Chain A
C-alpha cells in the first residue's frame, strides 16, 4: 500500500512540474485531488480497512494530499509569475517616445517687473494706483507745476490727441505722475502709492520708445523727510537687484514737481554689467520732495503735509536686472523672445517664495 502512495506521489509531482499553464495544472489537480482523483480514491478506500491500518494509512494519505496541494499551489504561483512576466514583456512600450505636447505660456518681463514692484513696495505699505492713459493737460502738466511756457514741457515730447476735453488739450500721459494728482484729489494723507503703467513720448530710437512704462511713487504724511526718501528707495533698490549692500548716490537735479529734486545712480561695473558695486554709476531713478505748489494745486496744505515722489523706467530696471540689450524687443512680440525672457505663470511674485 505504501508503495502505492510512493508511486502516486512520484507521478503526481512529475505531472505538477510538467503542467505548463494554469489550465494544465488544474487538470492535474482534478486528477489527483478532485472527486474522482487518485488521492481522493485512496481516501475513499480507507473505509474498508481495519482501524489500525486505517489510522496509519490514513495519516500517510492525508500527508500525501497536503503535500500535493502545497506543490500544486507552489506551481500555480510559479506559473502566475511566469505569465505576468510574459504579459509585461509583451506590453513593453518605447518609453523614449515623447509625451503629449503641452504649450508653455509665459508672463511678459515688464509685467513681471511691475509685479515685483508691487510686492516690494507693498511690503513697505504702498498700494497700487491706476488711471487713464489719456489725460488732459492739467493732470499732465498744470497740476504738476509745469505751466504752458515752461521749458520742462519741451523736455517731454508729448503726444496730443485731436480731442479736447474740458476745453483743454488731451494728451497721452508723458509720465505716470498724473496719478499723483488723482491720488491727492481722491484721498487724504497718509498716502503711499505706486503707479506702474504705460507712458508715451514722441521719441523713437534704439534707447527710446514712443510707448514705455514708468512706475511713479508718492508718499505724503506729516513727518516724511528727505531721509525717508533715501531710505525707501535704497531699501527698494537693494531688494529689487538682490544686492544687500548695493551702493547708491543721490545727485541734486530738477523736476518742476519736486523740490529739492534728485537723481539716483547705482554703482555698477561698465565692463561686466554687474550691478551694485564697481566704479561706474548708472542713472536709475528721479525723485524729490513734493513741491508745495503741487500739494496746494490738489488742496493739501504744504504747511501741514510733506512727502516725496519718485519715478523710474520699468523697461530700464528690467533691462538691467535681466541683461536685456534692446529696448525695442519688449514690444515686438517675437515669440522666441517672449518664451526666452518670459516667466512661468506658476511662479508668481511672492515674498515668501523669494525672487520677488
Chain B
C-alpha cells in the first residue's frame, strides 16, 4: 500500500515529521517497506529564466545563455537545441549531483566560454526518458523556486505492507485513523455530500447470488464528459504508482486508495437490457479491463447483462462495457462482496487487483451509500452530468457486534501498565464506541470497518477447526473458551499495539527446575552423536534438499506418485528422495566436477517411503569417493566397500548397538554393486542399513567417480538405548595368550563364519578373534582361500597348562572345520 504524505494530510492534521510517521507506522503494525522522497534528491534544482541565448563563438551546436536563477545571473553553455531567449526552464548550480547521468557538476569552461551550472532535461533529473531538450516550463513558473516543490514532486511517498487482517489499512483514511490513535495528530472529519438524484436509474440491479454479493448499489449519471482528470487527481494517482486513464476510471481508483472502497464504472450505453444481474458464472469468457480474457466458473460471482458476462465481481471489470472518451452516461457500481467468495475467485483467476485485495481482506460494510454519494459528487464535479436515484439489490448485512475487555487482563495477559482510561481512549480513537463501562471493564461496539475484531460468526470471520479426535465434551468446553476469549484478545491487541509493545518490560521465564533436564530425547541425542562420529571420521556434513528429480530418485529406491510434488519449483526438484544418499551423490558429483574428487560426505536427514509420519525415516547416509590422501609414508589407495562398512559400524557401535547381534548379508539394494555390498540386520526382521560400493552404472549416470562407496543407516530402526547399569568388568590378573591359525577353505564361504565359529569354540576363554591375513593365489588350489586368524585366550583364575592350550586349539580347529569345511593350513 502506497500513499503520499500530502494525501495522508487530507485525512490527518499533524505536524509530525516524516521520520516520526515512519517510526510510528512500524510500531503499530503498519510496517514501512520504503520511503521515496524525490524532493530531497531534487532540492538544488531551481526554476530559472533564459535572459538571452546566443550562439557559441567557437561551436555551432552550442549556445551561451545568460540565466536568471532568482538569486543572481549566471552564464551557462548549453547544448540543447531548444534553448532560447525568454524560455523558462530548470537550472542546476555547480556542486549539484545529476541523478540522470550520475555526475556532479563543476564550474567549467566549454570551448573557451565559462559555464557555471547546467540547464537540465527531464531525464537528467531522473524524471522520465524525455531528453529532446531542456525542460520547457510555462512562462508563469516562479523563477528561483525549487522545481520539485513547484512540480509537486517534493511529496514523499510511503509504502507500507498491510497484514491480511487489516483491510481497513488499505485506505489512506484507515492509516490516518491509526496514526491519530497513536497520538500523531487528529483525524479530519469526513462526510459525503448528500446527492439527491432525479429519476430512476436507467440500469437496475438484479441480485441472484446473495451469498457472494449480499448488498449492491448503483446509479446512473447522464451527460458526462469523460476527459483527462485534473492535475491534482493525476498527481495523486501517479504518486502511488497508478497510471491515470480517464476521469471516470481515475475516480474509482481514487476511492479505492482513499477510502479502501473499490468502485466500478460501466458505460451505461454499452449495457444491453437495462438490468445488471449478479449471478454465478457458467463457463463464459470475457475480455477484462486488464487486457486478458477471463473464463468464469459456477463458483465465481459475475455481473452480466443481456449480452453476457461483463465483469468478474470485485476483481476485474470487462473491456466491452468500460468507460472511455465517448462515454456520456455512466453507471457507478458500489457493492459489498463476500470475502471468501472473492478470495477463492481471485485464487482461481490468478488476477491480482486493488479491488480484489480490499474485498478479500474486508471493506467497511456500512459505507456503501456514503461512498456512492461521494463518488457521484466527484463525477459531477469533474465530468458534469446529472445523477439518477440509487438502485439497490440485497440489503446491508447485520454487522453490528460488541466486544468486552476486562482491564485486569491487560496486566495478567499483557503485563502492561496501561490504565483503564488510556485503554478506553485508544479504543475510542480507533473508532470503537463505548457501550458500557465499569471499574472492571468496558464493552464496545465494533466499527464496521474492523472485520478482524470479534469476527466469529461474522462474514469470513474467525472459525474453529478442531482436531477430529478430541473428546466431544472437552471440544465443546474449549470451543466456548475460545468464543469467550477471542474478542477480548482482539481488543487487548488493539490497545497494546497502539500503546507500543516496547513499553512492556521483559520478564525472563521462571525456571521449571533449578538445573535444566535434558532437552533431547535419547533418540534425538542419538542423531547428534551419529553426526559427531561421522565428522570425527573425517567426513564433512552436508545439508541437501529433500527433493530431487524423479529419475535420479528412482535409481535409489521407490518413487511413488504420492511423493511427487504437485507444484514443484523446478522440474528437477519434483520427487521426495528415498534417502539422503541421493542428494549427497549429486553433491559429490558436483564437487568432483569442480576438481575435488577425493571426498567424504555425509548427511543425517529424512528419507521418504510414503506420506504418513511413519513413512518418513531419519537416515544417516555417507559417501566416499576417490582415493585416500597422498602421503610419503603409505601409498594412496582407492576407497572401497570396507571404508563404507567401517563408517556404518562406527556409528552403530557408538550408538550402543551390540555388534555381535548384527548380521551382514551379501545382498543390498539395487543402487549398490551386487557383489560388493551388504545389508546390516538385527535379527531376521529388522534391517538397520546397507553399505558398499555404489553400482557402476549409477556412478556413470551421475558422473560420480567410479568405485564410490556409500552407506545408509535407518536411525529409527535402532532400538532405544537401554538405561541400565553396567556389570563389573572381568579384569583377570593373568596375562592373555595369543594363538594363530591359518585355514584353507572354499573362497565362497563367508569369512564371518570362520570368525564366529572360532569365537564360539570356547566361550569362557576366547575373548577376541582377529582376521589378520587373507591369501588366494598360486600357492593354493583354485577356488580356495587361506584365512589367518589370531585368537586371544584370557585365562581367568589360573594359568593354562600346555595341554589345556592344546585342547582349546583343537576345539577351535574342530569348530571352524565343522562350520566351514576348512582345513588347517599345513
Report if A and B associate in a common complex.
yes
| Bound CA–CA A126/B413 (angstroms) | 21
Residues A161 and B463 in contact in the complex (CB < 8 Å), given A172-B565, A253-B163, A301-B478: no
Minimal beta-carbon separation of A235 from chain B (angstroms): 6
Within the assembled complex, what's the spacing in Å between the Cα atoms of A111 and B542?
Answer: 9
Shortest beta-carbon distance, B548 to chain A, in Å?
A: 11
With A98-B631, A127-B519, A198-B546 known to touch, is A299 a contact of B611 (CB < 8 Å)? no
Assuming the contacts A106-B535, A228-B507, A231-B506, asked whether A202 and B478 have C-beta atoms less than 8 A apart, the reply is no
Residue of A261, A302, A335 with most chain B CB atoms under a 10 A cut-off: A335
Residue total for B at the interface (Cβ-Cβ under 8 A): 119
Given the contacts A219-B509, A230-B507, A345-B536, A200 and B546 also touching, CB distance less than 8 Å? yes
**Chain B residue with minimal CB distance to A151?**
B164
Choose one: B31, B482, B611; the contact of A292 (CB below 8 Å). B482
Cβ contact within 8 Å between B606 and A295: no
Q: Is A154 an interface residue (CB 8 A)?
A: yes
Bound together, the chains give a CA A228 to CA B567 distance in angstroms of: 40
Q: How far is the CB of B609 from chain A (nearest CB, A)?
A: 11
**Residue B528 CB within 8 A of the other chain:** yes
Within B676-726, the residues touching A (CB, 8 Å) are: none
CB proximity to A under 8 Å, residues B546-592: 546-547, 560-570, 573, 576, 584, 587, 590-591
**Which stretch from A57-65, A138-146, A266-274 is at the chain B interface?**
A138-146
Contacts of A134 in B (CB 8 A): 563, 576, 608, 611, 616
* A149:B416 contact, CB within 8 angstroms: no
- A147→B463 contact, CB < 8 A: yes
**Does B421 make an interface contact (CB < 8 A)?**
no
In the complex, A203 Cα to B567 Cα: how many Å? 11
With contacts A101-B631, A131-B613, A296-B482 taken as known, whether A118 is within 8 angstroms of B519 at the C-beta atoms is: yes
In the bound complex, do residue A100 and residue B29 qualify as a contact, i.e. CB atoms below 8 Å apart? no
A225–B416 Cα distance when bound, in Å, is 9
CB distance from B452 to the nearest CB of A (A): 9
Q: What 0/1 pattern do residues 152 to 195 of B give for CB contact below 8 A with A?
A: 00000000000111100000000000000000000000000000
How far apart are the CA atoms of A237 and B501 in the complex, in Å? 18
User: Which parts of B344-373 form the interface with A (CB within 8 Å)?
Assistant: 344, 347, 360-361
Knowing A227-B505, A235-B508, A299-B478, say if A338 contacts B613 (CB, 8 Å): no
Contact B543 A111 (CB under 8 A): yes
B77-85, B285-293, B466-474: which lies at the A interface? B466-474
Query: Please, how many residues of chain A have a CB less than 8 angstroms from a CB on the other chain?
Result: 112
* A110 interface residue (CB < 8 Å to B): yes
Name the B residues within 8 Å of A111 (CB-CB): 531, 541, 543
In the complex, A149 Cα to B576 Cα: how many Å?
27
> Provided the pairs A227-B505, A252-B497 are in contact, do residues A162 and B466 lie with their beta carbons within 8 angstroms?
no
**A302 touching B587 by the CB < 8 A rule?**
no
Would A211 and B493 be within 8 Å (CB), given that A250-B502, A299-B478 are in contact? no
In the bound complex, do residue A302 and residue B165 qualify as a contact, i.e. CB atoms below 8 Å apart? no
Q: Give the residue name and chain of the B residue nearest to A304 (CB).
A: B481
Residue of B471, B535, B613, B629 near A345 (CB, 8 A) is: B535
Chain B residues contacting A104 (CB-CB under 8 Å) are 538
> Closest CB-CB distance, B76 to chain A, in whole Å?
38
> What chain B residues lie within 8 Å of A9 (beta carbons)?
none
Give the chain B neighbours of A223 by CB distance below 8 A: 412
Task: Verify if A40 is at the interface (C-beta below 8 Å from B).
Answer: no
CB-CB < 8 A to A218: which residues of B?
Answer: none
A16: chain B residues at CB < 8 Å are: none
B98-106, B232-240, B484-492 - interface stretch:
B484-492
Residue A244 CB within 8 A of the other chain: no
Complex: A202 Cα to B565 Cα, angstroms: 11
Residues of A within 8 A of B567 (CB): 159-160, 202
| Given known A118-B519, A232-B509, A346-B536, contact A331–B543 (CB-CB < 8 A) | yes
Q: Does B544 contact A (CB under 8 A)?
A: yes
Q: How far is the CA of A232 from the CA of B507 in the complex (A)?
A: 7
Check A122–B481 contact: CB distance below 8 A.
no
Chain B residues lying within 8 Å of A105, measured Cβ to Cβ, are 534-541, 600
CA distance A163 to B484 in the complex (A): 38
- State the CA gap A8–B812 with chains docked (Å): 69
Partner of B524, one of A100, A121, A130: A130
Q: How far is the CA of A267 from the CA of B540 in the complex (A)?
A: 34
Given contacts A185-B467, A306-B413, contact A203 B569 (CB under 8 A): yes
Q: Return the contact of B467 from the options A100, A132, A143, A333 (Cβ within 8 A).
A: A143
Q: Is the CB of B562 within 8 A of A163?
A: yes
Is A38 on the interface with B (CB-CB < 8 A)?
no
Q: Which of B111-119, B252-260, B510-518 contacts A (4 or more CB under 8 A)?
A: B510-518
- Considering only residues 236-264 of chain A, those with a C-beta below 8 Å from chain B are 249-254, 256, 259-263
Decide yes or no whether A48 CB sits under 8 A from chain B.
no
Q: Is the CB of B629 within 8 A of A251?
A: no
The residue that B413 contacts in the complex, of A97, A125, A226, A344, with Cβ under 8 A, is A226
Collect the chain B residues with CB atoms within 8 Å of residue A194's CB: 519
Query: How far, in angstroms, from A293 to B573 measured CA to CA in the complex?
Result: 35
CB of A150 within 8 Å of the partner chain: yes
Instruction: Tell me if B756 counts as interface (CB < 8 A to partner A).
Output: no
Residues of B close to A291: CB separation below 8 A: 486, 489
A182–chain B nearest beta-carbon distance, Å: 9
Q: How far is the CB of B532 from chain A (nearest CB, A)?
A: 4
Q: Does A165 contact B538, Cβ atoms closer than 8 Å?
A: no
Q: Tell me the minimal C-beta distance from B648 to chain A in angstroms.
A: 16
Decide yes or no: A339 and B540 within 8 Å by CB, A149-B344, A302-B485 being known contacts: yes
Q: Note all chain B residues with C-beta closer than 8 A to A331.
A: 543-545
In the bound complex, what is the Cα–Cα distance between A62 and B511 (angstroms)? Answer: 88
A345 and B532 contacting across the interface, CB-CB below 8 Å = yes
Q: Which residues of B contact A122 (CB under 8 A)?
A: 516, 518-520
Q: Does A298 contact B (CB under 8 A)?
A: yes
CB-CB under 8 A from B31, the residues of chain A are: 251, 253, 263
Known: A149-B460, A151-B343, A304-B481. A210 touches B569 (CB 8 A): yes
Does A335 contact B599, Cβ atoms closer than 8 Å?
yes
Complex Cα gap A125–B462 (Å): 33
Whole-angstrom distance between the alpha carbons of A340 and B343 in the complex? 48
* B501 proximity list for chain A (CB < 8 A): 226, 230, 250-252, 260, 262
- Check A100/B634 contact, CB under 8 A, given A151-B164, A160-B565, A297-B467: yes
Given A100-B631, A103-B600, A301-B477, A108–B27 Cβ distance below 8 Å? no
Known: A107-B535, A252-B29, A297-B464. A124 touches B507 (CB 8 A): no
B415 in the interface, Cβ–Cβ < 8 Å? yes
17 chain-A/chain-B pairs, Cβ below 8 angstroms = A103-B539, A105-B535, A118-B520, A133-B606, A150-B164, A150-B343, A151-B360, A161-B564, A210-B570, A235-B508, A259-B490, A289-B489, A296-B481, A297-B464, A303-B481, A303-B485, A348-B532
Known pairs A100-B633, A138-B467, A147-B463; list 7 more (Cβ under 8 Å): A97-B632, A105-B534, A133-B608, A225-B413, A226-B416, A231-B506, A231-B509
Binding site for B on A (CB under 8 A): 97-98, 100-108, 110-111, 115, 118-119, 121-128, 130-134, 138, 142-143, 145, 147, 149-152, 154-155, 159-163, 165, 170, 172, 181, 185, 190, 192, 194, 198, 200, 202-204, 210-211, 219, 223, 225-228, 230-232, 234-235, 249-254, 256, 259-263, 289, 291-293, 295-304, 306, 330-336, 338-339, 342, 344-346, 348
